[in-house]
Amino acid sequence: MFSIIYTPTEGDAIQNYSRLFRRAEGCFLNINDVDRVHEDLAQWGEPEDIDYIVVTDCGTNNEELLNDELYLGLKQKRASGEKYDKFVDTFVQSARKLYPRAYIHFEDFGLTNDMRVVIFGSGTAGTGIADQVRDAIAADSGKSKEDAAKQLWCVDKPGLLLKSHGDKLTHAQIPYAREDSDYKGTSTSDLLSVIKAVKPHVLIGTSTQPKTFTKEVIQEMSSHVDRPIVFPLSNPTRLHEADPKDINEWSKGKALIATGSPFPPVSYNGKEYEVAECNNSTCFPGIGLGCVLSRSKLLSDKMLVAAVKALAAQSPALKDPCKGLLPDVSDVREISVHIARAVIRASQEEGLNMETEIPEGEEDLEEWVREQMWDASYRPLRLVSKETASKDAKGQLGSAGVE
């Protein structure tokens, strides 16, 4: 009976919902009447009456449906941006207050309201970053990796990667190639066109093509995202996609910037902002330490996500918006404690740890990690004669056995 009560039957039922409608069996909320959200939700019962709320934002940009007199949705294009975010936040806050015991299930929320990432330069580095972001989305959201990949758009020499590129695609690029039909009549041959079509929240550069994040590209990103994330990661410095100073100016101080090479602070409207260098030096030591101490069988996607969250929690920008997005490598020892602790806990949650004597309390775990960290202290050097030197000293000097 599954094929009758679910796929593909339910797809037909959804498409024809307006024509099959008999009576309201749910709560309809109007984005143009946000002030009524709490009142409308309150009509459905007392706190103990509601256990599970399934919510969807299915509106439409389909002209045929918008012109259909029977269409039950709003006769307007789908909302996005600040208006959409306020509407969803109002619903969530109202539902939590009215029905604190209820589980909220977000069903089929529009892809345009999830994070969108464009990666410019789809070689080994670019696709490697794409894989990490995809895997993190999948691990954190419960989506399949195939669905998570739909939130990334990869651009290379021919433009946006498309299925029609066929044999020109590398094995690593294939999962990110888009359907040509989705971009019929839309130019995807250059970065600016892709930015206009995708409207990404994040732009990552791994192209080694200098100055490709142009003023037009940054301004286009800033026109549809309140705080665009722009990471020109190509290095060395002469190969960066844009100078942080220019990105900051073109975005009118809105862009969140990290680079693949060191850059001096940038200024805007009299304020100076530190530019963080985005590399693995602040993350890898803690990941390795966590794996070693937990004796984890393998490093899972969820362990990496835990490491990234622990690193993000140490961002100096959380305390001062003028500081860098990532902590400085000079603080790597303290950062590694927090990352290692998160990695160990994630390893335990997945049953991957082979170490059985891991402390249960968080403070005890942190102390346990600190006690086992390598201490970068070195023995002092003193000058000795060849005659009085030990065999070890002679061996390190390369003079063992020399009389």
> Which residues fall in the annotated binding site?
107-108, 235, 279
Number of H helices, E strands in the chain: 16, 11
Q: Are 213 and 242 in contact (CB under 8 A)?
A: yes
Distance CA 322, CA 266 (A): 10
* Helix segments in 116-274, DSSP class H: 124-141, 145-149, 191-198, 215-224, 244-250
- State how beta strands 159-160 and 152-156 pair: antiparallel
Instruction: Could you list the residues known to form a binding site for (S)-malate, using ranges.
Output: 235, 279
The tokens of 44 are what? Answer: 């459905």
Q: 266 has which bridge partners?
A: 273
Instruction: Could you list the residues known to form a binding site for a divalent metal cation, using ranges.
Output: 107-108
C-alpha separations of 316 from 229, 251, 324 in Å: 16, 21, 6
How many Cα atoms are found within 13 Å in the side-chain-facing hemisphere of 115? 16
Distance CA 246, CA 216 (A): 11
